[in-house]
Chain A
């Protein structure tokens, strides 16, 4: 079974703090993703990575950065947290590599509920 873990289920931070959200997958997946989920807005892609040290912006990258130093680990960084970044953050991974990308299943972690005060 695919296992995607996230470092925290709940996190409370103050405005202006630097926040790190960590995600680890154990299936040797090429691709990893960070989404945020907000009521009424659904899931939106923040960033994704298709290889170590490779990243691409998603739909809403402003205010975020990412790091992928090892294949199994993908970090989301809020450089200076703001209240509008209070949200549920979901990490996902998929097999990637050769083959049709539209057929790849993304597997999600348990999510991190971040509150910025």
Chain B
């Protein structure tokens, strides 16, 4: 089973509107972190926002917020007031608690390509 599922290969949004990018995850660990990254066509992976499994409140970072629903194992990214520069691939990723080396790893979803239309 996939650890991180992003069901939307592509999304379109009009400039200045809000958009939600979906992410569901699968883990049996009580402690884990969820991350969202943006990858423009230039290739760099840019960190956007983090949510810890014990955090009571949804994370926010400027125009980005994370809609964290722990019981449903979902961590959707909400981008408010979309801008043309938001056009990029967006990746959801998870870091779990495991013994040994594998807890160092980020597990990524396949990504969602967001296009912002003028």
Collect the chain A residues with CB atoms within 8 Å of residue B95's CB. Answer: 101-104
CB of B101 within 8 A of CB of A100, answer: no
User: What is the CB-to-nearest-CB distance from A12 to chain B, in angstroms, rounded to a whole number?
Assistant: 16
User: What is the CB-to-nearest-CB distance from B40 to chain A, in angstroms, rounded to a whole number?
Assistant: 10
Which stretch in A19-27, A67-75, A78-86, A106-114 binds the other chain? A106-114
User: What is the CB-to-nearest-CB distance from B60 to chain A, in angstroms, rounded to a whole number?
Assistant: 16
Assess A108 versus B44: contact at CB under 8 Å? Given A42-B110, A102-B31: yes
- CB of A43 closer than 8 Å to a CB of B: yes
- Of A31, A48, A108, most B-chain CB atoms within 10 Å: A108
Contact indicator per residue, chain B 76-118, by CB within 8 Å of chain A (1) or not (0): 0000000000000001000111000101111011110000000
Query: How many A residues are at the interface, by size bracket?
Result: 20 to 34
Contact indicator per residue, chain A 7-22, by CB within 8 Å of chain B (1) or not (0): 0010000000000000
Interface residues of B (CB under 8 A from A): 29, 31-33, 35, 37, 42-47, 50, 52-53, 91, 95-97, 101, 103-106, 108-111
Question: Across the two chains, which residue of chain A brings its CB closest to B103?
Answer: A101
CB of A33 within 8 A of CB of B104, answer: yes
Assess A111 versus B45: contact at CB under 8 Å? Given A42-B110, A102-B96, A103-B52: yes
Q: How far does the alpha carbon of A49 sit from the alpha carbon of B103 in the complex, in Å?
A: 13
Question: Which 6 A-B pairs rank lowest in CB-CB distance, beginning with the nearest?
Answer: A108-B45, A111-B43, A56-B101, A102-B33, A110-B44, A102-B95
